[in-house]
Amino acid sequence: MVQATSLPRNEPGIKAAIGVLKQTFGDRLQTGQAIREQHGHTTTWIETQAPDAVVFPTSTEEVAAIVKTCAEYGVPVIPFGTGTSLEGHVNAPAGGISVDMARMDKILAVHAEDLDVVVQPGVTREQLNTFLRDQGLFFPIDPGANASLGGMAATRASGTNAVRYGTMKDNVLALEVVMADGEVIRTAQRAKKSSAGYDMTRLMVGSEGTLGLITEITLRLQGIPEAIRSARCAFRSVDDACRAVMMTIQYGIPVARIEMLDAMSVKAANTYSKLDLPEVPLLLLEFHGSEAGVVEQAEMFSSIAEEFGGFDFEATSTAEERNKLWQARHDMYWACLGLRPGAKGISTDVCVPISRLAECVSTAREKAEEMGLMAPMVGHVGDGNFHALLLIDMDSAEERAKADEYVGWLNDLAISMDGTCTGEHGIGQGKRPYLTKELGAATRYMAAVKAALDPDNILNPGKIISD
Amino acid sequence: MVQATSLPRNEPGIKAAIGVLKQTFGDRLQTGQAIREQHGHTTTWIETQAPDAVVFPTSTEEVAAIVKTCAEYGVPVIPFGTGTSLEGHVNAPAGGISVDMARMDKILAVHAEDLDVVVQPGVTREQLNTFLRDQGLFFPIDPGANASLGGMAATRASGTNAVRYGTMKDNVLALEVVMADGEVIRTAQRAKKSSAGYDMTRLMVGSEGTLGLITEITLRLQGIPEAIRSARCAFRSVDDACRAVMMTIQYGIPVARIEMLDAMSVKAANTYSKLDLPEVPLLLLEFHGSEAGVVEQAEMFSSIAEEFGGFDFEATSTAEERNKLWQARHDMYWACLGLRPGAKGISTDVCVPISRLAECVSTAREKAEEMGLMAPMVGHVGDGNFHALLLIDMDSAEERAKADEYVGWLNDLAISMDGTCTGEHGIGQGKRPYLTKELGAATRYMAAVKAALDPDNILNPGKIISD
């Protein structure tokens, strides 16, 4: 594990706050080691920093009471969704109280006519979509993991559908938030658009629990499309595939998904998901629209792909085949781990202007080979976003150091291409140095906003803002 | 005119700052009464509060120098685009320096492959679209006025195309901003998405010059669609028209524009634009897509409209007829003024969940009639957003009071329907009391953000935040 910086602990405050909260929450406050470690544990390579207690509120009022108690005693509060974040977001470098939203899992209101829904933060995206299916509606953002919607809002999640439907920033209409002093605010009403003052909704989305705890979320929904068509196309090189993507976006084809798998990822998928895809760079696509529309979109894409030497183009509208394809994409993390049994997968995340994508991916591939790193790459390429999954023996200090060097190098490369050190994973603990490299002076004003809204730095300290 | 609150003036500071700036800017700093009043003048009914001087910078460095001087002397700085805002945004209630961005009108870079463009804040949307046309690209946000892109970003503008392409919040990728201390920051890189820390871009969009001065804007572009089809359809009632809109949105028809004109507006348009539209509630639509796609969209809409008693449906793809229709929509402000020669038009702006739109518009219509106010209504109804244009004799204290009462009543109504007191006009001076009604406690934290980023309150004071 990579060691995360620890922050000073307020030992007497933590003890006092736990005592007070125990009285209110009884068994819903847990201090056992396993549960604490599970709540510091993330799927990252950053070492676990367990909180001192985990509390399970069931209402906004309870969250507000927790925050008020923690504010009184100067104790850190770390909101917890499903723990699938990747940059140490839920760690407790100064100890404190993890607020697990799992029991705030109610879908509070569906407004089908307005295409929106109001949910508690512990509702997961799969839970929501299962609930909505009968009404012909769906929530499009899909980061892969069955994350909680509160966590997705807090980390500005996106994923495969973002090229068409945007990220969480585009799909959260309003939030209810418990602020650092325990006050409950609503950031917006339910209207589809607003120019009513500062955009507190967007300020909270992506703030990773450092500015407030999200207790209610109003989300935009979409009608389930009349028709869905999936396609795949093979390419001779990553470069050709990226050029086809660029042209597809420029032509305004409203692809719902356009994912790239490099040859190594395809190989992993074939083995893990028992497929027989050609082991070359591949694009997987999905088209949403009318029956005629999706066929037209797929045909337009196919012509573009041909120009760039695409081959083995296949399209299907049957649900079974579609699901098989996308299940393979979703299982990619596990599939890639299979390439090197016993290794840990370190997923890193950059996003560049699409014109630089081919160069960025190719250079990243060459660098990995040069450094002797096994690093399959997959990307939400319609947005210029891709991940390298470094397969590392965590017992080897040399490999850990190499991986660290590679991640730093790749972030620097993306930044030098006018891109970002994180398209969707967020900053957490792991990407703080790169944030400063990327945005320089702007981070000073982020720190000023943090200090204004959380003057005692009790909300998820040690994340986003560099100490 | 409605009197705007004045704030205390820092007389010696203002005098000193003007002296210093005059040395640098020479003739590009103007203090003549006419030009000062023009820069406090807005198209609103709020009285003009002229700045003490108007300065015309040509570069970011010059804007930073102006802000540094004003910071040193504690003097207000008010950014100015084209002055088409509607809620007193450019007034100078404490005096100070108006920073007119008209000479920062360069299109700095077009990245056609990435579908983005970098512009200075004084570039207007028509200037940009004229420039882009040859490259097959366009910038979709269209608030009606030929506003500056800096002003549009600062006020989170939207307009007729927002139902498909979103508002400025969705179309600004990154900003360069001069902060209150004169530091220049970039809020983001050029990547299409990012989760790199707090969303400073969205915090600045809609902040109306109160958190920083926008000196460069990176905007998302769209490819000019292969085909554009316009349509109009008449309805027996506003209620029927709104229901047809709701169904169109629910069906996921990707309308690019769906505008409602009430009967009074249609009458005004007929006279002003020499048209012969049926003088009943009307929907005007535009569809963007492939040749086949736009025909399909128009047909789907037509079937829906029929269900709600729509009649006189007409669709056209010829540019001339389309332009005539949309020109009439753009000229609506002037057309409506023609309904009562000599009157001033007070445009107010609310936005509600679309399920409440029919009720909101109908109630607003009844109330206007009950109060004896002439108030044609038009709306960007796909978003639940509409405007009432009150035609008022500003010499009559009684009429002014009635208009004021009506605006307050309508804002309260929208808020009570989970809507907002402003869908796109912003808060400025005029809507500050409604902002507090709408968002309550959240406005306290807006004030905290303002105080953190502009501790001496020199950036456009007296706007958004209530004193």
What is the value of ipTM here, to two decimals?
0.97
- Is A8 a member of any domain? no
Cross-chain Cβ contact B194/A423 below 8 Å: yes
Same domain, B323 and B353: no
The residues near B118 (Cβ < 8 Å, ≥ 6 apart) are B107, B108, B109, B111, B216, B217, B218, B219
Cross-chain Cβ contact B427/A190 below 8 Å: no
What's the pLDDT score for residue B408?
96
Cross-chain Cβ contact A449/B203 below 8 Å: yes
Same domain, B112 and B206: yes
Q: How many domains does chain A have?
A: 3
Cross-chain Cβ contact A422/B195 below 8 Å: yes
Cross-chain Cβ contact B439/A355 below 8 Å: no
pLDDT band at A1 (very low <50, low <70, confident <90, very high): low
* Cβ contacts of A296 on chain B, cutoff 8 Å: 290, 292-293
CA distances from B454 to A110, A145, B427, B450 (A): 40, 40, 18, 6
Cross-chain Cβ contact B203/A199 below 8 Å: yes
In angstroms, the separation between the Cα of residue A244 and the nearest Cα of chain B is 12
* Cβ contacts of A202 on chain B, cutoff 8 Å: 169, 199, 202-203
* Cβ contacts of B443 on chain A, cutoff 8 Å: 197
Measure CB to CB from residue B193 to each of A167, A246, A442 and give the nearest one: A167
What's the pLDDT score for residue B7?
94
* Pick among A165, A198, A422 to test the B interface (most B CBs inside 10 A): A198
Same domain, A418 and A352: yes
For A124-141, write each residue's pLDDT tens digit.
Answer: 999 999 999 999 999 999
Rounded mean pLDDT of chain A?
95
Same domain, B288 and B356: no
Same domain, A299 and A241: yes
Across the range A280-289, mean pLDDT stands at 96
Q: Which residues of chain B have pLDDT under 70?
A: 1, 42
Same domain, B342 and B417: yes
- Which has the closest alpha carbon to B228: B183, B286, B148? B286
* Pick among B111, B137, B194, B466 to test the A interface (most A CBs inside 10 A): B194
What's the pLDDT score for residue B1?
62
What's the pLDDT score for residue A467?
75
Across the range A68-85, mean pLDDT stands at 97
For A242-279, write each residue's pLDDT tens digit.
Answer: 999 999 999 889 999 999 999 999 999 999 999 999 99
Looking up residue A389, the CATH number of its domain turns out to be: 3.30.70.2740
Q: Which residue of A has its CA nearest to B156?
A: A195
Measure CB to CB from residue B445 to each of A179, A189, A427 and give the nearest one: A179
What's the pLDDT score for residue A42?
67
Name the residue range of residue A275's domain: 227-332
Across the range A354-370, mean pLDDT stands at 97
* Cβ contacts of B292 on chain A, cutoff 8 Å: 292, 296
Same domain, B255 and B289: yes
Across the range A396-411, mean pLDDT stands at 96
Cross-chain Cβ contact B423/A195 below 8 Å: yes
* Cβ contacts of B423 on chain A, cutoff 8 Å: 191, 193-195
Across the range A308-316, mean pLDDT stands at 96
Looking up residue A174, the CATH number of its domain turns out to be: 3.30.465.10
Task: Check whether A326 has a pLDDT greater than 90.
Answer: no
pLDDT over 90, % of chain A: 91
B200 three-class SS:
helix
In angstroms, the separation between the Cα of residue B279 and the nearest Cα of chain A is 28
What's the pLDDT score for residue B2?
73
- Is A78 a member of any domain? no
Same domain, B296 and B322: yes
CA distances from A253 to A276, A307, B129, B223 (A): 28, 16, 21, 10
Measure CB to CB from residue A195 to each of B246, B292, B425 and give the nearest one: B425
- Is B448 a member of any domain? no
Same domain, B160 and B214: yes
- Is A356 a member of any domain? yes
Same domain, B218 and B257: no
What's the pLDDT score for residue B14?
98
| A172-178, strands of its sheet edge to edge | A107-111, A116-119, A213-220, A172-178, A184-186
Measure CB to CB from residue A155 to each of B195, B222, B353 and give the nearest one: B195
Answer left, alpha or beta for residue A180, where phi above 0 means left and psi between -120 and 50 means alpha.
Answer: alpha
Same domain, A237 and A156: no
DSSP A26-59: GGGEE--HHHHHHHH--SSSBPP---SEEE---S
- Is B357 a member of any domain? yes
- Which has the closest alpha carbon to A359: A408, A313, A419? A419
What's the pLDDT score for residue B269?
94
Beta carbon pairs, A and B, within 8 Å: 277
pLDDT band at A2 (very low <50, low <70, confident <90, very high): confident
Task: Check whether A4 has a pLDDT greater than 90.
Answer: no
Task: Check whether A444 has a pLDDT greater than 90.
Answer: yes
Task: Check whether A41 has a pLDDT greater than 90.
Answer: no
Cross-chain Cβ contact B187/A439 below 8 Å: yes
Same domain, B239 and B160: no
In angstroms, the separation between the Cα of residue B266 and the nearest Cα of chain A is 25
Picking from A332, A349, A381, the residue at the C-terminal end of a domain is A332
Instruction: Give the integer Cα–Cα distance in Å for B213 and B211.
Output: 7
- Is B91 a member of any domain? no
Q: Which residue of A has its CA nearest to B381?
A: A192
